[in-house]
Each structure stands twice: as structure tokens, then as C-alpha cells.
Amino acid sequence: MLKELLLFLFSIVGFAVSFHIWNKIHRQKKKLVCVVGDGGCDAVVKSRYGHIFGIDNTIMGMAYYSFIFALGLLYFFYPSFLAINYVAILEKAIAGLSASMSLVLTFIQFKVLKQFCEYCTIANLINVAIFVVIILP
């Protein structure tokens, strides 16, 4: 039950953060302003690292968090779904890939771009937390 609740919580917060970034940049066409820091959010999100394989990171984030939310629903309503081996492997692989990419993007944010974006950092921490929740028994 705790696993499902954590997946719900993390997916909702992660989706909200990704949607906020996407909405500000693409829909409202406004500068993304950091709550703390010196305004690195806009620079980070609009950098060449803001897209992977031509897809905006916020779009991939919203899709990922929707997947995690759906996974939490499946676990909540159909606990036996956990017993399916290939589903467990797939969820761990997807969450692991997301956490790995989050660590890479965090490194790029701090070391390559030398900027700080709290929205990106929060999303990246959520991705790692989701991975931890999924791999723990």
C-alpha cells in the first residue's frame, strides 16, 4: 500500500512540475523564472539538452509520470499484477533509465551549463525516488 501511495504522490508532483515548465515555455511563451537562484531555469530548459531525440524533456516527463501513475493504479487495484515477471522487469528498466537520465541531466545542468534550475532538480530527484520505490521490496 505504501509503494502505491508513493508512486501516486511522486507521479502527481512530477507531472505538475513538468506541466508547469511546458506550460510556461511552450504555451504561454514566457521566461521560466526560478523561485530561488539567479534565473538559470530558463537557460537550462531552453538549452540544447532540453530535448532528447527531438522530443522536449517536459513531454517525455509528463508521459513518464502518467505511466508511473497508471502503474500505481494497477498495483492498487490488481496486486497480482506485480507477480507478472516481464512487467516487473519492464517497470524497473523504465524507472532505471529515467533515473539514469536524470543523473546525467543533473550533471549537465551543474557542470556543463553551470546553471541551477530548481524545477529540473525537483523532477530529477523525483525520478530517482520513483526508481528507489520500484526496486525496493
| Predicted confidence (pLDDT) per residue in 84-105, tens digit | 788 888 999 999 999 999 999 9
d(CA 87, CA 83): 8
Taking 80 as the threshold, does the pLDDT of residue 115 lie above it?
yes
Domain segments of the chain as ranges: 2-135
| Predicted confidence (pLDDT) per residue in 38-81, tens digit | 778 999 999 999 999 999 999 999 999 999 999 888 888 888 87
Q: What pLDDT is recorded for position 83?
A: 73
Average pLDDT, whole number, for the chain?
92
Q: What pLDDT is recorded for position 117?
A: 92
Of the chain, the percentage scoring pLDDT greater than 90 comes to 69
d(CA 18, CA 33): 14
The DSSP secondary-structure symbol of 81 reads G
Taking 90 as the threshold, does the pLDDT of residue 37 lie above it?
no
Q: What pLDDT is recorded for position 64?
A: 97
Taking 90 as the threshold, does the pLDDT of residue 16 lie above it?
yes
Q: What pLDDT is recorded for position 137?
A: 78
Dihedrals φ, ψ of 95, to 5°?
A: -65, -40
Q: What pLDDT is recorded for position 110?
A: 93
- What is the topology classification, in CATH, of domain 2-135? de novo design (two linked rop proteins) (1.20.1440)
d(CA 130, CA 35): 24
